[in-house]
Amino acid sequence: MKFFGWRMVFTGLTLEFTVVGFLFYSFPVIWPYLISELGMTESQLGMVSAFYFIPVAILAIIIGRALDKYSVKKFMMIGAIIYAIGLFSLSFINSYWSLLTIYLTILALGSIMMGNLAVSKLIANWFDKNAGRALGIAAIGISFSGVMLPLIVDPLLDLVGWRNVYVIFASIVLFIILPLIFFIVIDDPKTVNQVKDGIKKDSKEESLPTEITAKELLSKKVFWVISLAFAFQFLSMMGVLAFLPVHASKMGLDETWNLLGLPIKQYVFAYSLAAFGGVLGKIIFGYLMDIMKAAHPSMMAMFLQAAGIFGITYFNEPSIFLSCALMFGLGFGAATPLMTACYLRIFGAHNLGKARGISSPIISPLQPIGILITSILIGFQDTYFVAFNIMGCFALVAIVLASQIKEPEKI
């Protein structure tokens, strides 16, 4: 029988594409329409993404622990329905507060139930030896959405309007993603007489899973080191990524190119190029995670992120700016699979949902601080120079923390 694990990976890739792409990567492209039609500001719209992580942090604790005990497939299906309702609701908003309310309630719940947390748990159920690679490939959906959706949504906004774009997003989730989950997702390889990685182990290699309590998890230094290192990487990334198209425009990348017959603005291309770097980063560092100690690929990715941020801050020559945007993407793109792989390698698949869930109140409150800092500073000056320099320094802090990730032999 053909190993089904890679079907889970590519289904997870599709879900990651849908959640992050529709919720985040498309959002900055829609900003100009929300600003002109509904009177919102750049600062307000940046705050939407920042505040979104507050309910997500709370929900992740509950859902993360539940995913260790109950059906991942059922969570994903319910989450897809809720997420579709949230996207459809966005097509009716008429104020900033209605936008914020939908993001912080319906979309937060739906996305956490069908997004990266659930996908990571599903893949951890199917992979052990090749977990880093599998998580990296699944997470490609996050960055691939950033490559494709800005390029698709930008001209689509002129054709059908931003409200209908959200109706299209909701329809895709309801009529394509939900059936995909129903027909493809299998919670555990044992239910179809398969084993992790598709490779049977000798009985000597088999070991009973060791359950770790929340108290034990929080008492371990390595848990805090991993959580804080990636929290600072995410903080740094969020403080730059959401503002990258606007920053690129302010740096003079306003020319319109013809790409495959489509008119693409340079600043939109820079945003997509960063996301493409994220695709490559997930593949490269997912592979490196399987063959290196956890600290090393993590530090490498964080260094690339820092270098990319400083590059797009100081250079406005298009070729250099775009190269640095790609470098930035290589670094931040690896963050999610590397973080999950660190928890998985050290605490095991049986504790992954719990580890990810309990880490959320540590990571999520720090994550939006980058957006808040950039949003506040842009309110005082018409440049991202100071804010992006601060974000680059946060990435350097992440490198120092990641250097302290130590792998015990067994938990």
Task: Evaluate the CA torsion angle 40, 244, 294, 19 in order and state its sign.
Answer: positive
The pLDDT value recorded for residue 271 is: 85
The pLDDT value recorded for residue 214 is: 84
The pLDDT value recorded for residue 177 is: 97
CA 127/CA 373 separation, integer angstroms: 39
Radius of gyration of the chain (CA): 20
To 10 degrees, what angle do helices 42-67 and 72-90 make?
160
Domain 5-190+212-402: which CATH number of 1.20.1250.20, 1.10.10.410, 3.40.640.10, 4.10.110.10: 1.20.1250.20
Task: Write phi, then psi, for 128 (nearest 5 degrees).
Answer: -135, -70
Low-confidence ranges of the chain (pLDDT < 50): 204-206, 208, 410-411
The pLDDT value recorded for residue 204 is: 47
Measured in whole angstroms, the distance separating CA 252 from the mean position of its chain's CA atoms is: 28
The pLDDT value recorded for residue 266 is: 85
∠ CA 393-397-401, rounded to 5°: 165
CA 331/CA 284 separation, integer angstroms: 10
CA 351/CA 103 separation, integer angstroms: 29
The pLDDT value recorded for residue 411 is: 42
∠ CA 279-284-285, rounded to 5°: 100
The pLDDT value recorded for residue 256 is: 76
The pLDDT value recorded for residue 222 is: 94
Measured in whole angstroms, the distance separating CA 59 from the mean position of its chain's CA atoms is: 16
∠ CA 183-189-194, rounded to 5°: 115
The pLDDT value recorded for residue 260 is: 66
Q: pTM of the entire structure?
A: 0.78
Domain boundaries, the chain: 5-190+212-402
